[in-house]
Amino acid sequence: MTHANTKLALKAISLALLLVASAAWTVVQARSHRSHGVRSSAAAQASLAHAREQLEQQQVRVKQLQDSVADQESANKQASQRLQQQDKVIAQMRQELRALQAKQATGDR
């Protein structure tokens, strides 16, 4: 994963976590009001239900982002391994070429 992709993924995860925290805070506040004897109105119940729904959606989004980052990291690792293998093959071929050139140079004389 490139540095820019990593930064973007981290920003997206941070935003999702902020939204999850906000929804969780709403849930906590609604429960707090209820536990202090404040009667729950239909609006408060709807707000709580909405906050729970948002929390669930954001948790799903965070999981999707984490999976995406993991997939990108895996692809990056595989690409890096392929490049390392190619570098080894190139180095070996250069060595063989130098050996052939040296052999040819000594054989021509």
Tokens of 95: 């060595």
Rounded average pLDDT over 22-30 = 72
CA angle (62, 64, 81) in 5-degree steps: 115
Number of structural domains found in the chain: 1
Range of the domain at 22: 3-107
Vertex 75 angle, CA 69 and 78, to 5°: 140
Confidence of residue 109 (pLDDT cuts 50, 70, 90): low
pTM for the predicted model, two decimal places: 0.53
Which tops the pLDDT comparison, 88 or 105?
A: 88
